[in-house]
Chain A
Amino acid sequence: MVRALDRKVLRDLRAHAGQAVAIAVLLACAVTTLVGSVATARALERSQARYYAEHRFAHVFAAARRAPEGIAARIAALPGVAEVETRVASSATVERPAGGPPASARILSLPPGGARVNVPYLRAGSGLDPDRTDQVLVSEGFALANQLRPGDRLGVVVNGKRQVLRIAGVALSPEFVYAIRPGDLFPDDRAYGILWTSRAGLAAAADLEGAFDEVAVLLAPGAREADVIAGIDRLLAPYGGLGAHGRDRNVSHRFLSDELAQLRAMAALVPAIFLGVAAFVVSVVLSRLVTTQRQQIGALEALGYGARAIALHYAKLVSIIALAGGALGAIGGIALGRAFARSYADFYRLPVLAFEGEAGVVVVAVLVALAAALAGSLGAVRRAVRIAPAEAMRPEPPASYRPTLLERAGLFRPLSPAARMIARDVARRPIRALLSAAGLACAVAILVVAWFAADAMDLILEQQLVVAQRQDLTVTFTDAVAPAGALELRSLPGVRAVEGFRAVPVTLRRGHRSYRTALTGVDPGADLTRLVTADGRVVPLPPAGLVLSAKLGELLHAAPGDRVEIEVLEGRRRTGPLTVALLVDDLLGVQATLSRRALADFLGEGDLLSGAQLSVDPAALDVVQARLRERPRVAGTTARAASVAAFRSLVAGFILAYMAALGALGAVIAAGVVYNAARVTWAERARELATLRVLGFTRAEIWRVLAGEIGVHAALGIPAGCALGLGFVGWTAARASTDLYRIPAEISAATFVRAALLILAATAAVLLAATRWVRRADLLDVLKSKE
């Protein structure tokens, strides 16, 4: 049998159904985001770990120019090395069967007996036949983007030699979860892919028979990576070793790990906001309930119910709401986690998705939601049990008001009495008004953060592609050529301008710090590629000295005036110092640039070009690319528009989903906060608002008093939310500063306006619904009741 007091719990719930639902929805959002993001992060971590383990992702990588195969045994003998696999790796030009400009690829050899390190995951077709040298595996992204299928034939140029290979299968690799062409700013699956072929065939093409140029190592448990790296460097030094490194320098691994770190940060932040807001709403609603039920509480106490029974009674009410919200949130969280993990796995092409129910996370999240709701109810419950029965059964004395400080200063004088009612109420309960404003501020901040993602992408693209790199086509030559070889491209119809550049792979060293990148020589007056700072300023290239990305300066601890040791990784492998002239706080990748003449001097070579930037009439782009392909010395061309479009389409869907999800959450917070604030204000003011109606105030005038108070909350909350959003963004940007990209902590005015408008719209929707309460209120009932 249900006890009488428990029936009261259920009746109270029914009587306050709207507010109960609003609280439950806020808690559900907290649990959904908590479970969803933790489950997503865990699923991805597990998937990454399992993928790496099952496909034996190497711990240490090293490259050399040409090392004899015998060195492999000596690497294997190093302490801590569990498995060694050498390979031949080369860049390749791939003819696209569908036509169009050729793509570039990285082509890797697989050992005849099958890979034991960095084992490709076969998605379609079959593995390589060990007896054949004319087969190739193609990375999945490249295959999909170029509509390649097993059985198709592919023209591949390696080391200037053209071969036709048959696609045996489509594969993935833990080494290339995020496949990006070295030096490129974005991944472009159409223009760049990974190929695997037989060791014998590739070694013949690359003139590396009996030798290797790359080695991958798996470490034994407990091995010290730094020792192994030092050992490999020692062994490969005589063979043009380029420096061994761990997974931390593998671009693909870094992208995935950075993403997971950001996901974990979000997993804490967003649910915390919801929990805080929900706890606040619970405290306001329950305070109000306890006030209206004052006499009932007194009567219960008079009947002999103790403080514990009364406290438990209200705790039950809150717990039912919290558990209902928690259950809803758990279902939503699992669904959200599954969908998010799925889309991440698709984005990174993870072949395994280890999503689990995460019962533990669900239980913890629901308990956290329950704890937040109970914490919010604490003050009201404590007040309820402290009321002395005799006092409780008398109606509450009229609320005490006194002139506020502002008003004594004369600030209220121009206000109408209705406006003074609002101002005095806000002044009488400033904490409640501030917390309500804080709830709205959180909603605004969430929206600002959500839309900032799109802002940041636009800004990076704008800065990098409209201001800094304005070429339409980048042409790379098979070998360095004299300037005349590049400048003659100007004669192609449709080409408007040609600017040559020289680029060499280098290791930059300063003290014990080093970084591998390309050193690029450009003409100081170059107009197509320019140095641009984060705030969009174009910086002229100094005639002498090195210009580094500010991030690279930070990594090397190098400031203007410092000398950096340069080690060229090709040709005669020059080494020597260069002085840093300037640091530029650019946004994408890290660059080392100097004037072409200074680079030629440093390299001790004549005036040579590695490639050229072309400005091309858009109508002639295809024709120009076709003509360029006919030239034997052109290794490849990259059309900027195509790569930007590919990047945008890659990221756009993702960002859109993210913005939609956060946008919906922000709107829910705003609506929840406003609904409860309006409900409570309405309940507290019902009597005086009815009096105003009797005095002859119209419904619209009454509604304005109600809306005015909420308007004050919004007026405080929205600017605060913009500031809070700016803070979140600064925090995110500071955390996301890597050598791969920097996020500018700049938010467009439109983002602030949109966030404010959405919150205002949610507020307006609730206030519009409140016109119904005003319309339905029974004047006579309100005036006759004592409270």
Chain B
Amino acid sequence: MTTTAQAVAGRAPVFAARGLEKVYRVGEIAVPALRGVDLDLYEGELVVLLGPSGSGKSTLLNVLGGLDVPTAGTVTWRDHDLANPDERLLTRYRRDHVGFVFQLYNLVPSLTARENVALAAEIAEHPLDPADALARVGLAARVDHFPSQLSGGEQQRVAIARAIVKRPDVLLCDEPTGALDVQTGRLVLSVLERVNRELGTTTVIITHNAAIAAMADRVISMRDGRIVREERNAHRAPPEALAW
């Protein structure tokens, strides 16, 4: 699997995971979420991580994003050891390199769109101008609105702007269209696609919606904590053309 991916991409992987395992303890029961995952991700790739709920895809994303550490195995992003549970190093990694987009947006309700974006810009080394980030997601006219004054799709685009404003190396999206209707979902996906294309940000989108897979460079399918299939799309379908 690794060899195929390398051969196709012809580049060195930025993420490298080997024998990744994660076991959660729920009360007295041990629940395995990842059971030996090997994975490489390459710079500038747009990857869709596909799987039903409970397949381990969110756990994998959280490990890649430095929100969680594996129980066993190794995982690195360039020279960062993401299996090291040192909270300060992980915070540093998230701060400098990772942008997150969640299903539930997680905007700060007391801050306007611009301020939500500025929140991330202020702790970054070389951020975009927050207004520019919002313009990229098509919200130039809504910068001074509070979350409660924005639709779900608009809120999710603010969340994307907040994720990209710090020019992250990696953009990790957990079911970004899960709470949106089809039309709004397409709009959000096209924003993600454009960011990936224009800024060259390595992008991972988690979804249980197989229709989204067509927009990816690569599609990785998971089930029961394991990677069960990996496909490469010859052409990335434009998000506007997706239907579900």
Contacts and interface: CB of A to CB of B under 8 A. Distances in A.
A601 interface: no
A783 B102 contact: yes
Interface in A675-702: 687-688, 690-699, 701
A695 B123 contact: yes
Contacts of B111: 401, 417, 420-421, 424
Contacts of A397: 148
B119 A695 contact: yes
Interface stretch (B89-97, B193-201, B226-234): B89-97
A100 B60 CA distance: 91
B67 A780 contact: yes
A417 B109 contact: no
A207 interface: no
Contacts of B108: 417, 421, 688, 691-692
B49 interface: no
A398 interface: yes
Interface residues of B, number: 36
Contact of B68 (A402, A418, A697, A780): A780
B170 to A, nearest CB: 12
Contacts, number: 88
Given A417-B116, A417-B122, A418-B119, A694 B94 contact: yes
Interface in A503-552: none
Contacts of A690: 106
A649 interface: no
Interface in A572-609: none
A402 B148 CA distance: 9
A581 B212 CA distance: 101
B109 A694 contact: no
B56 interface: no
Nearest to B130: A417
Contacts of B123: 695-697, 701
A783 B94 CA distance: 16
A397 B146 CA distance: 13
Nearest to A701: B123
B98 A696 contact: yes
B110 A695 contact: no
Size category of the binding interface on chain A: 20 to 34
Contact of A783 (B104, B112, B148): B104
Contact of B100 (A416, A688, A695): A695
B100 A398 contact: no
B147 interface: yes
Nearest to A426: B110
Nearest to A428: B110
Nearest to B165: A695
A458 interface: no
A425 interface: yes
A779 B68 CA distance: 9
Contact of B148 (A399, A416, A417): A399
Contacts of B204: none
B88 interface: yes
A688 B106 contact: yes
Interface in B55-112: 62, 65, 67-68, 87-88, 91-92, 94-96, 98, 100, 102, 104, 106-112
A491 interface: no
Contacts of B65: 694
Contact of B104 (A425, A698, A786): A786
A417 B118 CA distance: 7
Given A691-B106, A694-B100, A401 B146 contact: yes
A292 to B, nearest CB: 16
B115 interface: yes
B162 A779 contact: no
A428 B111 CA distance: 12
B87 A399 contact: no
B67 A694 contact: yes
Contact of A688 (B88, B109, B115): B109
Contacts of B162: 695
A421 B102 CA distance: 21
A400 B112 CA distance: 11
B88 to A, nearest CB: 7
A398 B148 contact: yes
A698 B89 CA distance: 10
A695 B94 contact: yes
Contacts of A779: 67
B106 A398 contact: no
Contact of A699 (B87, B94, B110, B116): B87
Contacts of A428: 110
25 contacts: A398-B147, A399-B109, A399-B110, A400-B109, A401-B146, A417-B116, A424-B111, A688-B109, A694-B100, A694-B106, A695-B95, A695-B100, A695-B119, A695-B120, A695-B123, A695-B162, A696-B94, A696-B120, A696-B123, A696-B124, A696-B166, A697-B91, A701-B123, A780-B67, A783-B104
Interface of A: 397-403, 416-418, 420-421, 424-425, 428, 687-688, 690-699, 701, 779-780, 783, 786
Given A695-B100, A696-B95, 11 more contacts: A416-B122, A417-B118, A420-B111, A428-B110, A691-B106, A691-B107, A694-B67, A694-B106, A697-B91, A697-B123, A699-B87
